[in-house]
Amino acid sequence: MANKQPPCAGPAQDLASDCPVQPASADPAANPLKTTRRDFLRAGGMLSMSSLMGTAALMTQSDNANAATEWAEHFQKNYRLMTPEEKNEARLRLERRYSDEYGKKVAVDTTEAQPGMLMGYALNIRKCIGCRRCVHACVAENNQSRGTRPGEKIEWIQVLRMERGKFEQEKMNHGYPEGLGIQVGGNAYTPAGQVLEGQYRYNPEKVPEADATYMPIACMQCEKPPCVKVCPVRTTYREADGPVVIDYNWCIGCRMCMGACPYWARRINVTTPVLPKEEMNPVTHYLGNRPRMRGVVEKCHWCLQRSRHGRYPACVEVCPVGARKFGNLLDPQSEVSKILERKNVFRLKAELNTFPKFFYFYD
Partner 1 sequence: MKKLATVSLILALCGGAFYAVSAAEKAADPAAAPKEAAPKAPVECFESRKGASEVTQREIKPGWPNVKCSPTTGAALWYGDPFDGTVPMGKMPQLDIPEGQAVIKPRSEKLALMPMCGTACHNGVGPTFTPPTLPKGKKPAPVPTMAAMVPDLANLQHGRGRIWCLDCHHTTQRNKLVDHYGDPVSFDQPQLLCGKCHGDKLRDWRDGIHGKRIGEFVSTGKKRWFTCTECHNPHNVQDGARNRGFVQLQPEPSPQLPRGMANADHEKLHAVGH
Residues lying near ligand SF4 in the complex (CB under 6 A) are found at 128-134, 159, 214, 216, 219-222, 225-227, 244, 261, 263, 265-266, 299, 319, 321, 323-324, 354
Rounded to a whole number of angstroms, the minimum distance from the CB of residue 195 to partner 1 is 14
Beta-strand pair 324-328/283-285? unpaired
Using the minimum distance from each CB to partner 1, give the nearer residue, 80 or 357. Answer: 357
| Residue 215 C-beta: closest distance to ligand SF4, Å | 9
Binding of residue 169 to partner 1 (CB under 8 A): no
Choose the binding region for partner 1 from 33-41, 44-52, 237-245, 333-341 (rule: CB under 8 A): 333-341
* 144-163 footprint of partner 1 as x/- string (CB under 8 A): ------xx-x-x--x-----
**How far apart are alpha carbons 277 and 102 in whole angstroms?**
5
Per DSSP, what are the bridge partners of residue 163?
212
331 lines the binding site for partner 1 (CB under 8 A):
yes
Q: Are 186 and 220 in contact (CB under 8 A)?
A: no
- Element spanning 99, H or E: helix 84-102
The piece of 35-43, 89-97, 251-259, 323-331 that touches partner 1 (CB under 8 A) is 323-331
Residue 212 C-beta: closest distance to partner 1, Å: 9
CB of residue 317 vs partner 1: minimum separation in angstroms?
Answer: 4
Residue 360 binds what, of ligand SF4, partner 1, none (CB under 5 to 8 Å, by partner type)? none
Q: Measured between alpha carbons, how far is 87 from 82 in angstroms, rounded to an integer? A: 6
Q: How many residues bind partner 1 (CB under 8 A)?
A: 67
Per the CB < 8 A criterion, the answer to whether 117 and 241 are in contact is: yes
How far apart CA 101 and CA 181 sit, in angstroms, is 68
CB atoms within 10 A of CB 221: 25
Interface with partner 1 (CB under 8 A), residue from 1, 20, 37, 104: 104
Q: Judged by CB under 8 A, which stretch of 14-22, 82-90, 308-316, 345-353 contacts partner 1? A: 308-316
State the DSSP H helix or E strand holding residue 338, giving kind and residue range, or none if neither. Answer: helix 335-342
| Site membership for partner 1, residue 314 (CB under 8 A) | yes
* Cβ 181 to partner 1 shortest distance, Å: 15
Q: Which residues contact 262 (CB under 8 A, 6 or more apart)?
A: 226, 349, 352, 354
Q: For strand 283-285 and strand 107-109, is the pairing parallel, antiparallel, or unpaired?
A: parallel
Q: Which is nearer to ligand SF4, 220 or 304 (CB)?
A: 220
- Binding-site partner at residue 299 among ligand SF4, partner 1, none, CB < 5 to 8 Å by type: ligand SF4
d(CA 178, CA 191): 14
Other C-beta atoms lying within 10 Å of the C-beta of residue 188: 15
SS3 59: helix
Beta bridge partners of 108: 284
Q: Is 201 in the site for partner 1 (CB under 8 A)?
A: yes
For partner 1, give the closer residue by CB, 104 or 229: 104
